[in-house]
Amino acid sequence: MRVQPQPWWTSLRPARLAAAAILLGLATRGNSQGKACSLATADELQAALGAKVTGMKSQGVPAGAADICMGQTSTASIMLRLATRSGQAQGKEAAGIEAAKKMGAQVEVKTDGPITCSQMIPPPNLAQYGFNTTCSVAKNGQVAAIEVTAKTQKDMIAIETLHKLAQKMAARF
């Protein structure tokens, strides 16, 4: 059985973990159970990531939580999310970015209309938890996101690559 890499921020203390989760848009409520896997096709993911994508399946989540679909390539884990956007996320996301930077992470954020993408490179002592690229798109009170966590920095997915997928996802919810 293959173990998926866990994002580096999962090893952090609870207060800092909460800030990192807010940054990645996890502070949302779900209302579209089972639809996250329809945000991107396996072929689209494979073309963007340059590797065969396997195991894309909906995750059992509690009522009210974000709808999540997960899979992997040989070098990364993939998560698609669909949720109702919390109205107070913006200030909390900025605080999450600052907390990650204070811990030594390199953070890059790019916004283009309703699409926000970020890359997080952990400090060397947390590199074993992976290198993250995430794009989210807000539309009609919902947010869809694609998150790719690579095992190594050389396998990171470029923001521009995920941005193209986020544009396609925007038409699907």
For 7-44, write each residue's pLDDT tens digit. 444 444 333 333 334 334 443 444 445 789 999 998 99
**Domain residue extents for the chain:** 8-170
Range with the largest mean pLDDT of 5-14, 26-35, 56-65, 161-170: 161-170
Predicted structure pTM score: 0.78
> What is the CATH class of 8-170?
alpha beta
Buried b (16+ CB within 10 A) or exposed e, 37-65: bbbbeeebbeebbeeebeebebeebeeeb
